[in-house]
Amino acid sequence: MSAASDVGFHAQRQARWHYGEIAFWLIVLACGFAFPSRYLIMTDILRLALFAMSLDLILGYAGIVSLGHAAFFGVGAYAAGLLALHGIVKEPVLALIVAGLAAMVLGFATSFLVIRGVDLTRLMVTLGIALLLEALAERFSNITGGTDGLQGIEMQPIFGEIPFDMFGKAGFFYSLAVLFLLFLFARRVVHSPFGLSLRAIKNNPLRAAAIGIPVNRRLIAIYTLAAFYAGIAGALFTQTTAIASLDVFSMERSADLMLVLVMGGTGYLYGGLIGAVIFRMLQELFSTITPQYWQFWIGLVLVVIVLVGRQRLHRWVLYVPNLIIRRIAGRKAIVAVPESDS
């Protein structure tokens, strides 16, 4: 009995908002006002952050390794583009939700394939689905515009009030609002008993099943939810850039996404957000050094991260902040990455 209340106590303490988290979001918001000339790249980072958060839900919490998460991103992107292009759903927020739902339906349908088999089969099936969709988008070029992509998308004002401006200011705050709302929901989900059961599944599916967690149903649910998030990220991409092209499905996109998440750390939701910032900054840096071959450096970063070890790397990165906290507050550091990847 006491064990149960103990677990409940710790789970609740974990779920409480820390000062650090509030500060984090305030800084993000402040960036929006501090760098008015950088809206486009910041919007890009927000989109990537949302996309990475979606992967974190299945990889960091449920332990599903996916190489084809771009499939849902792409479906969301094309759905939003088509809705806007043909004027089916004119209002962006509504279109965003519809696009997310489209990706969600695909996620639900394909989740049955993904929960079967081991890591390798999952890897293959997710990759196969993304490639399949890419081939489909190329095949039905009369709908998707083929290799040219969807062009001439005109976005209507948000809620019919706020128009998208050419500096991307509206786009930035729109993306930020969407990201924050979805983050709140994801935070609620992962700290709920449902989220805790996902972690149990990740650590040991067999034991999780033995203590009465319906493993497959939980995996289907989180995979579907992650697909919804990825679809929203894709729709944001189309809405803020006004294009959708075949490369939304590409395997490089899925691979980059993994890198983003790994750089930020998995299993605590902020990983995707922090990783997105680091990734874009690295990308800028590398493409100024060697415009054509920045992929080499991205690859090198991946190799080094794995060889050094992700946990060790995070310890190094957090060493200085923790030291400062110890010195100033005179207590044990609270900044830690709860990572339990095996």
Partner 1 sequence: MTAILTNLFDGVAYGMLLFVLACGLAVTLGLMNFVNLAHGAFAMAGGYICMVLVNRMGWPFFAALPLAFVSSAVIGIALERTLYRHLYARSHLDQVLFTIGLTFMSVAVVDYIQGSSRVFINLPAALQGQFDLFGVGIGRYRLMIIVICGLLTIALQMVLAKTRFGSRLRAAVDDPRAASGLGINVPQVFAFTFAFGCGLAGLGGALSAEILGLDPYFPLKFMIYFLIVVTVGGSSSITGPFLASLLLGIGDVAGKYYVPKMGPFVIYTMMIVILIWRPNGLFGRTAAR
| Cβ-contact 183, 53 below 8 angstroms | yes
Residues 108-147 that bind partner 1 (CB under 8 A): 113, 116-121, 123-125, 127-129, 131-132, 135-136, 138-139
* Beta carbon nearer to partner 1, 59 or 77: 59
* Beta carbon nearer to partner 1, 63 or 168: 63
The residue from 213, 262, 273, 276 that contacts partner 1 (CB under 8 A) is 262
What does R_g of the chain's alpha carbons equal in angstroms?
20
* Beta carbon nearer to partner 1, 15 or 65: 65
Q: Can you tell me the distance from the alpha carbon of 126 to that of 309, in angstroms, rounded to the nearest whole number?
A: 25
| Interface with partner 1, residue 258, by CB under 8 A | yes
| Interface with partner 1, residue 278, by CB under 8 A | no
Concatenate the DSSP letters of all residues of 80-144 into one string.
Answer: HHHHHHTTSS-SHHHHHHHHHHHHHHHHHHHHHHHSSS-HHHHHHHHHHHHHHHHHHHHHTHHHH
Coil, helix or strand at residue 267: coil
| Interface with partner 1, residue 292, by CB under 8 A | yes
The residue from 310, 314, 322, 339 that contacts partner 1 (CB under 8 A) is 310
Binding mask 194-213 for partner 1 (x = CB under 8 A): --------------------
Coil, helix or strand at residue 298: helix
| Cβ-contact 275, 52 below 8 angstroms | yes
Instruction: State the number of binding residues for partner 1 (CB under 8 A).
Output: 45
Provide the CA 213 distance to its chain's centre, in angstroms: 26
Q: Can you tell me the distance from the alpha carbon of 288 to that of 334, in angstroms, rounded to the nearest whole number?
A: 37
Binding mask 9-48 for partner 1 (x = CB under 8 A): ----------------------------------------
* Beta carbon nearer to partner 1, 118 or 211: 118
| Interface with partner 1, residue 307, by CB under 8 A | yes
| Interface with partner 1, residue 313, by CB under 8 A | no
Q: Can you tell me the distance from the alpha carbon of 89 to that of 339, in angstroms, rounded to the nearest whole number?
A: 41
* Beta carbon nearer to partner 1, 239 or 266: 266
Using alpha carbons, list the distances in angstroms from residue 300 to 37, 274, 303, 307, 318: 31, 20, 5, 10, 22
- Closest approach of partner 1 to the CB of residue 63, in Å: 9
- Closest approach of partner 1 to the CB of residue 189, in Å: 22
Q: Can you tell me the distance from the alpha carbon of 176 to that of 148, in angstroms, rounded to the nearest whole number?
A: 29
Q: Can you tell me the distance from the alpha carbon of 276 to that of 263, in angstroms, rounded to the nearest whole number?
A: 8
* Beta carbon nearer to partner 1, 191 or 310: 310
Stretch that binds partner 1, among 1-9, 82-90, 177-185, 296-304 (CB under 8 A): 296-304
Q: What six digits make up the tokens of 278?
A: 């680091």
Using alpha carbons, list the distances in angstroms from residue 123 to 68, 114, 254: 8, 9, 11
- Closest approach of partner 1 to the CB of residue 125, in Å: 6
Stretch that binds partner 1, among 21-29, 203-211, 212-220, 255-263 (CB under 8 A): 255-263
Residues 232-251 that bind partner 1 (CB under 8 A): 251
* Beta carbon nearer to partner 1, 6 or 119: 119
Instruction: Provide the angle, in degrees to the nearest 10, between the axes of the packed helices 70-85 and 119-139.
Output: 30
Q: What six digits make up the tokens of 324?
A: 């400062």
Q: Can you tell me the distance from the alpha carbon of 167 to that of 41, in angstroms, rounded to the nearest whole number?
A: 11
The residue from 31, 189, 200, 301 that contacts partner 1 (CB under 8 A) is 301
Residues that bind partner 1 (CB under 8 A): 59, 65, 67, 113, 116-121, 123-125, 127-129, 131-132, 135-136, 138-139, 251-252, 255, 258-259, 262, 292-296, 298-303, 305-307, 310, 341-342
